[in-house]
Structure 1
Amino acid sequence: MKVPVYRALGALSVLLGIIGAFLPLMPTTPFLILAAWFFARSHPEWEAKLLAHPKFGPAIRAWRDHQAIPRVAKWASTIMMSISVVGSWFILPEPWGYGPAVVCSMVMLWMWTRPSA
């Protein structure tokens, strides 16, 4: 019963990762890491394809082996989140404009405390 559910969730995670490659506020790699986790339990061939991918495979393996995030990914995420926070200050009304800053600050704090790959 678990195998079809894991396959479906893995496929959904890949789809969300592909969408995230084109939408600036949606991440790609975390969804592909999640997909690899699901495929490891349901479809080893698809997991192997994700791990062998030239662009995303190294990041997935770094997370799996050492829970490490590549330094370039940390910087790119920090820059994109900072742009989003500044934009939200201009778009959202007064009390709501601080929400993205709080959330992004917590995410950045967590991210920068992870080892670098």
Structure 2
Amino acid sequence: MRYLWLTLGFLCVGLGFVGIVVPGLPATGFFVAAAWCFSKSSEKFLHWLLNLPLVGPLLQDYRGGLGMPLKAKWFASVSLSLAVSISAVFAIRMPWAKAGCIALGLIGLWYIWTKVPLRERVLAEQEPSDQS
């Protein structure tokens, strides 16, 4: 099983790097999945992933329960909406598939805005209150 998790981890890392340059592909989600796979297979590669300059800090925040910054939530939402819209209008021909694509996009937006904590809010709640 270790090799399966390791392989899936590297597949997710590869897709994450592609997602950095391809609009609409959720890079962060793939890196989070890669971190999970590496946590089950290799501390060495988990450490490597968590220390990458571009994604390491975001992964560390997410794993620490800090969630996503507001700017990242907006970027993810706009990218997701554009990708779903373009797919539904131009790439998908069958009405049931269009509806499925839109439904999955809406579920993704719902998840980002309701289940992933807002980093700024979590940090504000962690600060000690200034009561004199």
TM-score (norm 2): 0.72
Give the match for residue 62 of structure 1.
61
Q: Within 5 A, what are the aligned runs for 1:27-46?
A: 27-46=26-45
Q: 1:22-72 deviations in whole A, cap 9, x for unaligned? A: 221221111111111121222211111111122211221222221612222
Give the match for residue 116 of structure 1.
118
Give the residue type in structure 2 aligned to 1:109.
W
Return 5+ residue gaps in structure 2 as ranges.
120-132
- The size of the alignment, in residue pairs, is 116
Does residue 78 of structure 1 match 2:77? yes
Shift, 1:82, TM fit: 2.9
Give the residue type in structure 2 aligned to 1:106.
I
Give the match for residue 46 of structure 2.
47
Which range moves more in the overlay, 92-101 or 50-59?
A: 92-101
Return 5+ residue gaps in structure 1 as ranges.
none
Q: 1:55-111 deviations in whole A, cap 9, x for unaligned? A: 211221222221612222210011123333443564356945554433222211111
- The structure that has the greater radius of gyration is 2
- Kindly report the root-mean-square deviation, in angstroms, between the aligned alpha carbons of the 2 structures: 2.3
Give the match for residue 17 of structure 1.
16
